[in-house]
Copies of this chain bind each other. A is one copy, B any other.
Amino acid sequence: MIDQLVEKIKKTNAPIEVGLDPMLAYVPDHIKEKAYKELGETLEGAAEAVWQFNKGIVDATYDLIPAVKPQIAMYEQFGIPGLMTFKKTVDYCHEKGLLVIGDIKRGDIGSTSGAYATGHLGKVTVGSKSYYGFNEDFVTINPYMGTDSVQPFIDVAIPEKKGMFILTKTSNPSSGEFQDRLVDGRPLYELVAEKVVEWGAQHMGKCGYSYVGAVVGATYPEMGAVLRKLMPKTYILVPGYGAQGAKGSDLVHYFNEDGLGAIVNSSRGIIAAYKQEKYAKFGPENFADASRQAVIDMQQDIAEAIGRK
């Protein structure tokens, strides 16, 4: 999938993923009203509203982007009906030719990580049959528990030709509390980065990049520049663009000289674009067109920034 991801990024000239992280507050009223009329103000009604919202955005943007990153928490908050919408979204994005990065940030002791890996990347065996659970192409992983919590994901990913992104330096304000602490004079996130490289050597794509990537927030561009050099063959998933504050010019150093090596996420900035003054002219009815325009603007912002490198 890392080869497919790189190929799609080249084809679209858009190292961009749309974060499908729907809060009900982002869903236009007309969609919610229709869903509640059908299914009531229930978890099922909410899940249907989120599904229709996602579908609108995917239909309006799938030809411009290589991948989406649904954040599973936003679905889990609605319990089982929410997770059914997560699954439906993954399947629908596959139908539209998109790669799906499941933002699940899992990680546990070996046998348990194995179960997560099976459920999200691989197939579970039931008697003589086997089935995909959620079937994303990539997942995100929390490394706090170390190698034996990550290895089961790699073991499942290799035969499936799937991948993962390991949290290295996250985009949130308090990410530094533990991640920036100095160990032998170097921040912890650099130690994680070294492990990412080591883990990734087991599962390299033909494109020269590893199937084992890293998450490095756009909100810390100086650290991004260091991490880029420490992990030359690692694809970097970059959250924090747009609503979290980072701009195209902050992203320059996350890319390699080949113009590759990073994929930038924007969630709220795209899926709730119609709520921004800049895109208000579209109106809630045309929220998906606003999202399409926001993708085009983001693509240009980043292309210009990389061009300027």
What are the residues of chain B within 8 A of A132 when measuring CB–CB? 79
* A residues 211-228 touching B (CB-CB < 8 Å): none
User: Is A118 located at the chain interface by the 8 A CB criterion?
Assistant: yes
Q: How far is the CA of A22 from the CA of B175 in the complex (A)?
A: 34
A161 interfacial by beta-carbon distance below 8 Å: no
A133 nearest CB neighbor, chain B only: B79
Q: Is the CB of A174 within 8 A of B191?
A: no
A71 to B73, CA, bound (A): 17
Are A73 and B175 in contact, with the CB atoms below 8 A?
no
Copies in the complex: 2
B178 and A46 contacting across the interface, CB-CB below 8 Å: no
Whole-angstrom distance between the Cβ of A290 and the nearest chain B Cβ? 21
Knowing A41-B127, A71-B112, A182-B183, say if A120 contacts B174 (CB, 8 Å).
no
Give per-residue flags for A25-59: 1 if the beta carbon is below 8 A from chain B beta carbons, else 0: 00000001000100001110110000000000000
Q: Mark A162-200, 1 if CB is under 8 A from B, else 0.
A: 000001001111111111011110001001100100000
Stretch of A8-16, A80-88, A202-210, A274-282 on the interface side = A80-88
Q: A144-B144, A148-B172 are in contact. Are A78 and B133 (CB under 8 A)?
A: yes
Complex alpha-carbon distance, A105 and B73, angstroms: 12
Question: Do B74 and A79 touch (CB < 8 A)?
Answer: no
Contact between chains at A116 and B41 (CB < 8 Å): no
A106 an interface residue at 8 Å Cβ cutoff?
Answer: yes
A147-B74 contact in complex given A84-B80, A129-B41, C-beta closer than 8 Å = no
- A and B contact pairs by CB, cutoff 8 A, 28 listed: A24-B125, A36-B126, A42-B129, A73-B106, A73-B119, A76-B133, A76-B134, A77-B115, A77-B116, A79-B132, A80-B80, A82-B133, A83-B83, A105-B106, A105-B107, A109-B170, A109-B172, A109-B239, A144-B167, A145-B175, A146-B175, A146-B178, A148-B172, A148-B174, A178-B192, A181-B184, A181-B188, A182-B183
